[in-house]
Amino acid sequence: MQIVTFKAKMEETSTKKQSRIILALDFPYQNPAEPQKLLVKTQNLLGMVSPYICAVKINHHLVLPLGTFNGVQTLVNQAHEAGLQAIMDCKVNDIGATNQVIAEYYYAAGFDALIANPFIGWEEGLKPIFEVAQSLQRGVILLTYMSHKGATEGYGQTIIDPVTHTETKQYLAFAKKALQWNADGAVVGATVPEKIREIHSILGGNVPIYSPGIGAQGGGAETAMKAGARYLIVGREITQSTNPVAEAEKLSESTKQAK
């Protein structure tokens, strides 16, 4: 049986869709007593912008009010019908036994990949997730440097490399782990293009960089792409726009110009 990695699926999808934009389906707090309204709103938006994106990313904004195997699975199916990949932004960060269950549920709901936090380490940490993903031909994307200002307190801290015993930055150690663990991607905030550049110098073409924080958080699409980002994760810039279709189309075009 031929094994097709999530990394390869993403590249194929983005080429076919001629876009490197991943839509983050994030909405402000909605009335939990009216989940159907939120589902319909989300379905409508996804349907409108699907021609201009290559994937959709879902996190707690929708999982909590809609449920994994209810509304969220409906959205994952819709994404697949539109030829898109579906990523679960669960930022898995627990012990291995729990991580395995989390991965199994999200993959069972149809997600093609999930995002995990490398802070928890490999043994009895992320190893079970990678094993489940490999058995199902799904993906794991590592959270390497987040897009918010406080990221420097954790991902930007100085550590001692356990192998070389020299000082290094936490995010650079995580980039090396992404290579070592054969991750399908690494998340690096578009708000820190200098970090994208550093991490890309380690990852090269082996592990693609996914950059959130475009627009609302101050990150620039073309700047992130030129620094080495392969895919741009965009949420509020599209979801809260008065014209989400035009915004998605504009962002998609910007990724082509940055090549």
Per-residue pLDDT, 256: 76
Other Cβ atoms closer than 10 A to 36: 9
> Residue 66 is part of a domain; what is its CATH number?
3.20.20.70
- Comparing CA positions, the residue from 252, 247, 238 lying closest to residue 42 is 238
Quick check: is 1 in a domain?
A: no
Inter-CA distances, 192 with 182, 204, 225, Å: 24, 18, 12
Task: Indicate which residue of 16, 37, 91, 176 is catalytic.
Answer: 91
Paired with 140 in beta bridges are 114
Quick check: is 168 in a domain?
A: yes
Quick check: is 113 in a domain?
A: yes
Range of the domain at 140: 6-257
Q: What is the pTM of this model?
A: 0.95
Number of domains making up the chain: 1
Catalytic residue list contains 37: no
Per-residue pLDDT, 209: 98
Alpha helix locations (H) across 31-95?
35-49, 60-66, 73-81
Query: pLDDT (tens digit, 0 to 9) for every residue of the chain, 259 residues total?
Result: 567 899 999 999 999 999 999 999 999 999 998 999 999 999 999 999 999 999 999 999 999 999 999 999 999 999 999 999 999 999 999 999 999 999 999 999 999 999 999 999 999 999 999 999 999 999 999 999 999 989 899 999 999 988 888 999 999 999 999 999 999 999 999 999 999 999 999 999 999 999 998 877 778 889 999 999 999 999 999 999 999 999 999 999 888 766 5
Quick check: is 167 in a domain?
A: yes
Q: How far apart, in whole angstroms, are the C-alpha atoms of residue 120 and residue 156?
A: 16
Quick check: is 240 in a domain?
A: yes
Quick check: is 226 in a domain?
A: yes
